[in-house]
Amino acid sequence: MVKQTEQSRGSGGETHQRGSDELLTTNHGVGVSDNQNSLKSGSRGPTLLEDFVLREKIFHFDHERIPERIVHARGTGAHGVFEATADISGLSKAAVFTKGEKTEVFVRFSTVAGGAGSVDTPRDVRGFAVKFYTREGNWDLVGNNIPVFFIQDAIKFPDLVHAVKMEADRGYPQAGSAHDTFWDWASLMPETTHMLMWAMSDRTLPRSLRMMEGFGVHTFQLVNAAGKVSFVKFHWRPRLGIQSTVWDEALKLQAADNDYHRRDLFEAIDTGAFPQWDLAIQVFDQAFADAQPYDVLDATKLIPEEDVPLRVIGTLTLNRNVDNFFAETEQVAFLPSNIVPGIDFSNDPLLQGRLFSYLDTQNSRLGTTNFHQIPVNAPRCPFGNFQRDGKMQTMVPKGRANYEPNSLAAHGEEGGPRENPERGFVTASATRGDDETGDKLRVRAETFADHYTQARLFYRSQDAHEQAHIASSFVFELSKVGLLDQVPPRMVANLRNVDEDLAKRVAAGLGIPLPPKAKAAKPTLDMPPSDALSIHKKMKATLEGRAVGILIADGTDAADLKSMVEAVTKAKGKPVLVAPKIGGVKLSDGKLQKADGQLAGSPSQLFDAVAIILSDEACAMLLADGAAVEFVMNAYGHLKAIGASAAAQPLLDKAGVKPDEGVTTLGAAFVKAAARRFYDREPHIRTLA
């Protein structure tokens, strides 16, 4: 690299020097002598068109934004590794599943409805997309944090997205489903009911991307070396357990930090607290599929874990943040059609539509059929074919061979790659049911007609607190429906097929009469409740990966603070010191303690639990500080543990804190309480449906 000293001439003729080991150049390698001033005809004259440095710089700037994704526009990504931990060679010949195999991956998490400039914490489905750079080619498992979807057939996807996105005439609301057009459409589409139960649950308010499950959604197929085919569903299970926020907390998180989730993920990886998920599978055969009261090819249905237990086959670890957000996170192109030998598609009609749609979308977004050459999309294994040219072609194929078959090799020339039946991908040959062959019809199988049974299963699998959240979510969302008076009753009529009590609660919350039950295409069945569908029933009581906000001020007892920080750290939590001033406070021992966050800018919704360690004097001062009162009040309202020194009691009293299991003294009692939330508190502090 050329060693040089940059010089730029200021408006007064002075010369500024900045040492550098790199030469600033144009995109074509021409050195730039002045990056501060455009070329002019005289010091105050017009800028000259011949200034190619200016023109290139502005030209590139004008075009540095590409079309954002229509859905999943707001996302964040990271690199990692997948390690296969179980031998499933009897199920799949895919090299990625070879026990001990380590495969590089890139993962992108996203919200669905909002644009790229929206926020991290709305009530929304989260995308969970994983690109495996396997030695047999790229495999993209492109799913969500919910195991089912709104629709059964891809032909309805544009309608779903148009309905949930900003309303066409006014361009709002952004990143939310609580508006007329979504609920008008959803209430007319009974097949959305099961997904609506999940969407109105706390699953769409994740505490962290690191504490979120992922699902492949569709039924896929595994194929072993002998050609035997099995059905499979893919599940990602977070090692930290699953956890969500509550609705009021999510709203306040949006105000506190628009980038809450992406910051949380970035900082965890940056500090070496690498997030991990286990990859688990549900495997079943055609006989099992035929025996179920639902269709396994229906993306609005799940298979209860009680019927087909999960089998863990590998672990995903995210261990490296991206070097450049645009080059990697924004340009990564996931394709459900990217599969490798040993994995295959099912006839799920939603999946079949996605196989076309994603490829078409990437060409539109990235502007070229050569998007696979972008480093984040390129396979890590050798690849080659006879596809040529196109926009942004960066490969330089040599020789005359751009067609196949050819006989050029017989004349001593390079003939290019060739097909290989043994090593290449072969679509699985499987025995199919009578209704999977025959005439081509625009119909939907009768087995897809039950839209309420699994919605009932989901609702009745939740605990009482979760059911209250679901009912309250329906009330909130439907209360945002404006002029379309027919929509809320229509939606409640559908809910009567799910659960009568749920429908009554929603109707009462909306202040409308209970409408007649909507006619169901098939009878609604009672499936056994599944604890696996409940966040609360399987939540881990742990501080690992969680943050504890510790409010301190001048006079805070140094020994109490030291003990608290050590206890939280020992429990694998992250202690965060919050003080009225970022410069810190003077502790009881006279030492200055710097804070991690300033009180007004570090509200308690950023933390999983809070400890208040104050002196009598500091507490008296903070009673007049609205941020301090809200810090405690919101922690209490968001059902979090609160540990407090005796001197801090007046602040708790002013914040309306009432004694319960989650309000403790400092020490071990607090650390134990901090690992959970206290949902029994909720009925006493807010009205739920």
pLDDT tens, 247-286? 999 999 999 999 999 999 999 999 999 999 999 999 999 9
- The answer to whether residues 218 and 346 touch, using CB atoms and an 8 Å cutoff, is yes
β-sheet bridge partners, residue 318 = 80
Report the candidate in 654, 659, 657, 682 with the shortest Cα–Cα distance to residue 669: 659
The span from the CA of 60 to the CA of 637, in Å, is 49
Does the pLDDT at position 16 exceed 50?
no
Which is catalytic among the residues 138, 144, 338, 634?
144
| pLDDT given at position 6 | 35
138/384 Cα distance (integer angstroms): 14
Amino acid at 487: V
CB–CB of 366/333 below 8 Å? yes
Q: What is the longest distance spanned by two Cα atoms in the chain?
A: 93
> In this predicted structure, what is the pLDDT of residue 440?
66
How many residues does the structure list for the chain?
689
Residue with token string 């649950």: 201
Asked if pLDDT for residue 210 goes beyond 60, the answer is: yes
The pLDDT, as a whole number, for residue 385 is 85
Residue 8 is predicted with a pLDDT of 37
* Alpha helices in 260-348, H assignment, sequence order: 260-270, 286-291
Per-residue pLDDT band at 489 (split at 50, 70, 90): very high
DSSP category for residue 233: E
d(CA 139, CA 134): 7
Q: Is 338 a catalytic residue?
A: no
Q: Are strands 311-321 and 214-215 parallel, antiparallel or unpaired?
A: unpaired
Residue 443 confidence class, pLDDT cut points 50, 70, 90:
confident
Query: Domain spans of the chain?
Result: 4-62, 75-373, 546-684
Q: Residue range 660-673: average pLDDT? A: 96
CB 280 within 8 A of CB 313: yes
- Among residues 299, 245, 294, the alpha carbon closest in space to that of 124 is found at 245
Chain segment 411-438, per-residue pLDDT in tens: 888 888 888 888 888 888 755 555 666 6
Say what percent of the chain tops pLDDT 70.
96
Answer whether 198's CB lies under 8 Å from 98's CB.
no
- What CATH number has the domain spanning 4-62? 4.10.91.20
**Is a pLDDT exceeding 50 seen at residue 3?**
no
Are the C-beta atoms of residues 535 and 529 closer than 8 Å to each other? no
Rounded-to-integer distance, Cα 142 and Cα 11, Å: 54
| Amino acid 387: pLDDT | 85
Region 481-504: mean pLDDT is 96
Residue 398 has pLDDT above 90, yes or no: no
Of the residues 72, 451, 465, 638, which is catalytic?
72
User: Of the CATH numbers 3.40.109.10, 2.40.50.140, 2.40.180.10, 1.10.3720.10, which one belongs to the domain with range 75-373?
Assistant: 2.40.180.10
Helices (H) and strands (E) counted in the chain, each on its own, are 17, 20
Residue 409 has pLDDT above 70, yes or no: yes
Mind listing the pLDDT tens digit for each residue in 618-658? 999 999 999 999 999 999 999 999 999 999 999 999 999 99
Tokens found for residue 98? 């070879």
Surface-to-core class of residue 18, CB atoms within 10 Å of its CB (0-12 exposed, 13-18 middle, 19+ buried): exposed
Q: What is the pTM of this model?
A: 0.91
Of 167-181, 349-363, 471-485, 524-538, the range with the lowest mean pLDDT is 349-363
The per-residue pLDDT for 428 is 85
What CA–CA distance (Å, rounded) separates 51 from 404? 47
Question: Are 97 and 313 in contact, with CB atoms under 8 Å apart?
Answer: yes
Q: How far is CA 512 from CA 100, 486, 605, 686, in A?
A: 59, 11, 34, 21
What pLDDT does 258 receive?
95
CA 31 to chain centre: 42
- Assign domain 546-684 to its CATH architecture: 3-Layer(aba) Sandwich (3.40)
* Active-site residue flag, 144: yes
Q: Assess whether pLDDT exceeds 60 at residue 19.
A: no
Sign of the alpha-carbon torsion through 224, 229, 234, 239: negative
pLDDT in tens, 33-61: 888 888 889 888 888 888 888 888 888 88
CA 258 to chain centroid, in Å, comes to 15
Strand partners, 130: 107, 141
Please provide the average confidence, as pLDDT, over all residues in the chain.
92
Is 106's pLDDT higher than 50?
yes
What is the average pLDDT across 178-189? 96
Alpha carbons 91 and 73: distance in angstroms, whole number: 35
